[in-house]
Amino acid sequence: MEETYVRHVELLGFEKRSYPSQHYVYMLMVKWSDLSEKLIYRTYPEIYTFHKLLKEMFPIESGEIEKKDRIIPSLPAPRWLISEKSPETRQNTLAEYCHSLINLPPHISRCRELGTFYRVRREDENPPTPNTLKRNETFVISKDSTRGNASEISGPIILDTYRVIADFEKTSKHEINLHNGDLVEIVEKNQNGWWFCQCESKRGWIPASYLEPLDGPEEAEEDEPNYEGEMFVSIKAYKKEQPDEISLEIGETIEVIHKLLDGWWVVRKGDETGHFPSMFLHKAGKREIYEAERTNLQGHKPPPRRSTIRNAKSIHNKARQRLSQDAYRRNSRRYLQQKGGRLTEPTGSSRDTAKSPLRERKNQDNIPETSGSGSESDPKKEAPVVPPRPSPELILERCSDNTRKKVSIHRSNT
């Protein structure tokens, strides 16, 4: 049976989402050769990554060998500074790109990789929305709009409003000056901690650490710590300036355990944890590392930490609770030990964990200790990964009365 292929892709509009951070996805109606129609959601960076894959697969058709042979349409790269870009203006570009792509020769338009990209994913059918109070906002292209005016949408964009907690002076032309108490509307929340906002007629980037939501100090969008860790590679060296930060050289592989909205992620390197600027990290993998090495970070600086802001004034009575580095390290060790890690518990921290019956012993025979025989100064042995079988004495001491009677009857009979 012949495998189905994409015969038409139509851009319907875009959707503003607030999880895991504020971003936009484009709604694409994909029509297949078996006459089925599926709605999928893709971000602009995802589409651009797929575009680069096609160029690598078909170097002749992408003009890498001879420019005159290029038939694969071009697509602008997503930029860090997009003060003049917005989801509306990108719609026309994406509509033209998808239309041209599907009309390419069959060896490109019907290739397996293209079909995989446009196939329905699990998140297309059930988008992640943990915060039920914030609904996704959808903006559909007007039915009356022509193909050349695809940026026309059915309604205005409703932006989140934040308050500035301290005076901020811009250090580049892409930033804006703000004063304590100013209200700004957030256009884009970037994971590197720089948010693009507008204040009256001014538009530009400002550190997220200078902003707070109006309804409360807690950010419902922020993920919980993930102590399993996600592999990233440092693409630029950074030397720590605060005690709770971590220093990394370029090319080091670490695990991200907490992605914070202010652009300072908590990372784990061996037994050490600390804050590190997310803009100097890139997802681990051969292709990603190659692309990351080509990324030009010159002139891009990490946003300031909230702890370094002077005269910060919040309108909320209760300050936002932050996990300490000690809590990050303790939970990281606990997770690694549960997974069979070799990191040992530091001295004094064993009080935080519940005692195990096997940790109360002092010998390998599992003989129960008599009261008063233990000493605080005696060195405590780590429980092995596979604990030994408890001794009969230990079992009899801790079993129920019913079990103890049965064992006694069995012993008397034998």
| DSSP-assigned states of every residue in 178-239 | B-TT-EEEEEEE-TTSEEEEEETTEEEEEEGGGEEESS-S--TTSPPP-TT-EEEEESS-B-
Cβ burial, residue 187 (10 Å; 0-12/13-18/19+):
buried
End-to-end CA distance of the chain: 71
Residue 394 per-residue DSSP state: H
166 and 141 within one domain:
no
Q: What is the mean pLDDT of residues 151-157?
A: 38
Instruction: Tell me the percentage of the chain whose pLDDT exceeds 90.
Output: 28
75 and 44 within one domain:
yes
CATH code of 57's domain = 3.30.1520.10
> Looking at residue 376, what is its pLDDT?
44
Cβ burial, residue 141 (10 Å; 0-12/13-18/19+):
buried
133 and 15 within one domain:
yes
Tens digits of per-residue pLDDT, 340-349?
A: 754 444 444 4
Tokens of 353: 């964990």
* Higher-scoring residue by pLDDT: 221, 315: 315
Tens digits of per-residue pLDDT, 374-407?
A: 444 444 555 455 666 677 777 777 777 777 777 7
Does residue 356 carry a pLDDT above 80? no
Q: Is the Cβ–Cβ distance between 16 and 22 less than 8 Å?
A: yes
Does residue 413 carry a pLDDT above 80? no
188 and 87 within one domain:
no
Does residue 117 carry a pLDDT above 90? yes
15 and 133 within one domain:
yes
Does residue 372 carry a pLDDT above 70? no
**Which of 99, 114, 5, 127 lies closest to 53, judged by CA?**
114
Tens digits of per-residue pLDDT, 320-332?
A: 677 888 888 888 8
Judge if pTM exceeds 0.85.
no
Whole domain around residue 384: which residue ranges? 356-414
**Cα 349 from Cα 329, distance rounded (Å):** 11
The residues facing 258 across adjacent strands are 266
Q: Is residue 404 part of a domain?
A: yes
* Higher-scoring residue by pLDDT: 311, 180: 180
Q: What is the domain count for the chain?
A: 3
Identify the domain boundary among 149, 176, 195: 149
165 and 137 within one domain:
no
- Residues 6 or more apart in contact with residue 20 via CB below 8 angstroms: 128, 221, 223, 259
> Looking at residue 322, what is its pLDDT?
77
- Sheet with 202-207: strands ordered across: 202-207, 194-199, 183-189, 160-164, 211-213
CA 351 to centroid of chain Cα atoms: 32
87 and 33 within one domain:
yes
